[in-house]
Structure 1
Amino acid sequence: MSGTPSSSMRLAEYKVPGAAGSVPVEVVVYFFGPGQGGSPEANLERWKSQFSNPAGGAVPELVAHETVRGMPYTIAEYRGTYARGMGNGSSADAARPDHILMAVVAETPKGTLFFQCFGPSAAMTTQRAACLSFAKGLTP
């Protein structure tokens, strides 16, 4: 289900319903303009800092690099307690345990697109392939 972006920084946003009564997977697409939004590495570092393991430490980072229709894609995945927000996360009371973020940075000829799919681990595990297919379906 698509919706009106909740921020001017968002190009598009969607919610993919999960099982009845569960939190949906959210899909957000960001575009800041040519040359804007930071490097893939800077974004990966920020996204990783928004996650922690049950002991409060850093989480592993899964990163892959691919070329899709001639464009570089960086695909990263993080699992743990997600304190989503700008900088180093949001307040501790907004932290979401047992979440996954799959982020895709697509470096297009017109500028970099940032795709984020996130939600509870069970729902993201089910929707992971669809989220990745959506990000890779980009036509320059």
Structure 2
Amino acid sequence: MTWTAPTEWTVQGERPMRVATYSIPAAKGDLEGGELAVFYFGEGKGGTVEANVKRWVSQFQKADGSPAEKEAKTKQEKLAGFPVTTVDVKGTYTGGGPMMGPSTPKPGFRLIGAIVEGPGGAVFFKLTGPDRTVTGAEKTFRKMLEGMKKK
């Protein structure tokens, strides 16, 4: 599968387990930008769609420290001819360990993700950052997903 990242996003260097990482510029008023991490593990690898959605959502808490699971939105649809599951969750981003998220909790964050079931296995797109920055990148992210092509 191929896609074209927006020109305003900066490609980062190679990272473990990732096929690509992009920096998203901070929205006005945000102290940091966002990040889109793209993972591909191979056909039949990387866990089920449901397990990944659950793991991503579990990386967020509401302001009172309770799980953000009830507020998370998921949706199944077809984009560019591929089955896609999207997830959207906001709150305090706690991450999922040293390679999966921040070392200190980050309040006011948002994750929009997409798990694309491609012909050679699932590709995982995980965009995280301050809520305003992620909201500002949402349409561009969607456009990128709609432009995916089979290799």
Structure 1 residue 28 displacement after superposition: 0.9
Residues 78/12 of structure 1: CA separation in 2 closer, same or farther (3 Å cut)? same
The Cα offsets for residues 85-123 of structure 1, whole Å up to 9 and x where unpaired, read as 249x768x6111000000100001111000011100111
1:69 is aligned to 80
The 8 Å contact of residues 26 and 119 in structure 1, kept in 2 or not, is answered as yes
Q: Among the aligned pairs, what percent are the same residue?
A: 29
The Cα offsets for residues 46-86 of structure 1, whole Å up to 9 and x where unpaired, read as 11111100111121110111112332100000100001124
Counterpart amino acid of 1:67? K
Counterpart amino acid of 1:108? G
Q: Does 1:40 align with 2:49?
A: yes
- Residue segments in structure 1 that go unaligned for 5+ positions in a row: none
Which of 106, 124, 129 matches 1:114?
A: 124
Counterpart amino acid of 1:68? L
1:80 is aligned to 91
1:17 is aligned to 25
Residues 67/90 of structure 1: CA separation in 2 closer, same or farther (3 Å cut)? closer
1:54 is aligned to 63
The 8 Å contact of residues 27 and 131 in structure 1, kept in 2 or not, is answered as no
The 1-side partners of 2:85 and 2:14 are apart by: 24
Stretches of 4+ moved more than 2 A in 1?
19-22
The 1-side partners of 2:30 and 2:44 are apart by: 41
Structure 1 residue 21 displacement after superposition: 6.9
Indicate the larger mover: 20-29 or 66-75: 20-29
The 8 Å contact of residues 79 and 145 in structure 2, kept in 1 or not, is answered as no
The 8 Å contact of residues 84 and 117 in structure 2, kept in 1 or not, is answered as yes
Give the length in aligned residue pairs.
137
Counterpart amino acid of 2:131? S
- Residue segments in structure 2 that go unaligned for 5+ positions in a row: 1-9
The 2-side partners of 1:21 and 1:74 are apart by: 28
